[in-house]
Amino acid sequence: MKNKIYFITILLVSFLIASCESDDDLNYQTDFENSQEAWLDFKESSNNSYKYVVSGGSVFTSYGWETTITVSNGVIIERDFKYTSGAENFIPVDQLEWTENENDINNSEHEHTSAFSALTLDEIYDKAKEVWLIKRDNATTYFEIENNGLISTCGYFENGCMDDCFIGITIKSITAL
């Protein structure tokens, strides 16, 4: 009888642990789906014309930056970049802030590697689903929706990484044009 109770207890504890893990995955899935629905509503109401600001920085070098992507009718028409703090001492002045127009974006001749990639929100939601939110045993995943239900933070930190380890996106704001 004692072995039977022990077996049932182990079985129940295992079930509870497994169901907790599924709930976390389910929460990300549900939150992502709700956010994607909010995105599709926003996309329609804004005629797929919007501006969003991605922020980032480095703990190691103590600088901050922002990239603003402007999309008109589903096409990226401008990418602005600026360092917001800490870069003045080690970044050339002509690289502290710049703007690319539609013809310069992703053009290797005018390549700017310091900025966030020029992506539409459709592409960001695709990347979130296919890259950033994939379950990894060696990482902690984050997904937040603070921009009126739209994606605000999405990505992961690999376990054991010490500096500048976040792989993903942090969107400060999203506004219709």
- Rg (the chain; Cα; Å): 21
Residues with Cβ < 8 Å from 175, sequence gap 6 or more?
Answer: 50, 51, 52
Structure tokens at 107: 């053009």
Considering only residues 164 and 140, tell me which one the structure prediction assigns the higher pLDDT.
140
Whether residue 35 is predicted with pLDDT greater than 60 in this model: the reply is yes
DSSP 118-156: ---HHHHHHHIIIIITS--TTEEEEEE--BTTB--EEEE
Q: What is the model's pLDDT at position 92?
A: 74
Q: What is the model's pLDDT at position 77?
A: 97
Which of 22-36, 60-74, 134-148 is the least confident region?
22-36
Considering only residues 124 and 17, tell me which one the structure prediction assigns the higher pLDDT.
124
- To which residue do tokens 């504890």 refer? 13
Rounded distance, CA 135 to CA 114, Å? 28
Rounded distance, CA 152 to CA 53, Å? 10
For 78-96, what is the mean pLDDT?
Answer: 80
Domain borders along the chain are 2-176
Which of 3-12, 45-54, 117-126 is the least confident region?
3-12
Q: What is the model's pLDDT at position 64?
A: 85
Please answer whether residues 104 and 81 qualify as being in contact, where contact means their C-beta atoms are separated by less than 8 angstroms. Answer: no
Please state the pTM of the whole predicted model.
0.79
Whether residue 2 is predicted with pLDDT greater than 90 in this model: the reply is no
Q: What is the model's pLDDT at position 17?
A: 34
Rounded distance, CA 66 to CA 13, Å? 46
Task: For Cα atoms 115, 173, 165, give the angle at the middle one, nearest 5 degrees.
Answer: 50
Please answer whether residues 67 and 87 qualify as being in contact, where contact means their C-beta atoms are separated by less than 8 angstroms. Answer: no
Please answer whether residues 91 and 83 qualify as being in contact, where contact means their C-beta atoms are separated by less than 8 angstroms. Answer: yes
Determine phi and psi for 63, rounding to 5 degrees: -110, 160
User: Which of 58, 16, 33, 51 is closest to 143 using CA atoms?
Assistant: 33
